[in-house]
Amino acid sequence: MGIIEKMRLDGKKIFVTGGARGIGKSVATAFAEAGADIAIVDVDIEEARKTAQELKDQHGISTMAIQTDVTNPEQVNAMIDQVVAGFGRLDVAFCNAGICMNIPAEEMTYEQWKKVIDINLTGVFLTAQAAGKIMIQQGGGSIINTASMSAHIVNVPQPQCSYNASKAGVIQLTKSLAIEWAGKNVRVNSISPGYIGTELTLNSPSLKPLIEKWNEMAPLGRMGRPEELQSICVYLAGDTSTFTTGSDFLVDGAFTCF
């Protein structure tokens, strides 16, 4: 069997949080193209259903849409139960849901700080923990967490201390889980995207001035595209990455190199 065939995900059962749109939808599409069955997990159930139906119609795979608040342990556990009941097992978890608030630190309320940390860091922990329990019982699996280049640098000109801190936490959480579960055949890695031009980002009036600044600073002179994150996630989800765990993969067009 050649390397291309080995990279396929036929028969894999995967859930994607924040999967209804943006990076989550793009990566879910790649998983579907590679043959996996996909559960689209999102707080926006209508968009999740649309995305799940699109993937089913276009790629002939099994899909489901599940409404879940990743900060709620009961909802996360119920989501995992639904995935396992529907698919029979869980092979890959893409813990991707996240938010960002651009608020100066001296003006940020406790509630604003807590919301970012709860979704971006605690939400990743809860979904990874729940997935890990199932994978340990099964004898293995792969967990992919979405961190950010903001875990490595302090972004400018926007003020986003809560986002940066939460994403740095995701990387250390990823490494910690990878060590704890290495002997249980559960691999845990993270991706750290740079600025990615999702539909929501590109169409946001408040972000357009920032995008111009970001592109001026970027070595490649542009933002990344969601599809430029697909191949690394397919690799981490599949059986050619069995010696890869505890790693963080920067996909940022060299933005963090200076």
- Residues 46, 39: contact at Cβ < 8 Å? no
Q: Residue 201 — very low, low, confident or very high, per pLDDT cuts 50/70/90?
A: confident
Whether pTM > 0.75 for this model: the answer is yes
- Residues 68, 95: contact at Cβ < 8 Å? no
State the distance between the two ends of the chain, measured CA to CA, in whole angstroms.
Answer: 41
Indicate if the pLDDT at residue 1 is higher than 80: no
Q: Residue 207 — very low, low, confident or very high, per pLDDT cuts 50/70/90?
A: confident
Indicate if the pLDDT at residue 3 is higher than 80: yes
The residues that are catalytic are 148, 163, 167
- Give the contacts of 9 (CB within 8 A, at least 6 positions apart): 31, 34, 35, 36, 92, 234, 237, 238
The 10s digit of each residue's pLDDT in 26-48 is 999 999 999 999 999 999 999 99
Between 2 and 183, whose confidence is greater? 183
Q: Residue 228 — very low, low, confident or very high, per pLDDT cuts 50/70/90?
A: very high
Q: Residue 168 — very low, low, confident or very high, per pLDDT cuts 50/70/90?
A: very high
* Cα distance between residue 242 and residue 38, in whole Å: 21
Q: Residue 203 — very low, low, confident or very high, per pLDDT cuts 50/70/90?
A: confident
Q: Residue 111 — very low, low, confident or very high, per pLDDT cuts 50/70/90?
A: very high
Helices (H), the chain: 3-6, 22-33, 45-59, 73-87, 110-117, 123-138, 161-181, 199-202, 208-217, 230-237
Task: Please compute the mean of the pLDDT values over residues 154-172 and round it to a whole number.
Answer: 96
- Residues 110, 61: contact at Cβ < 8 Å? no
Q: Which domains does the chain have, with CATH numbers?
A: 3-251 (3.40.50.720)
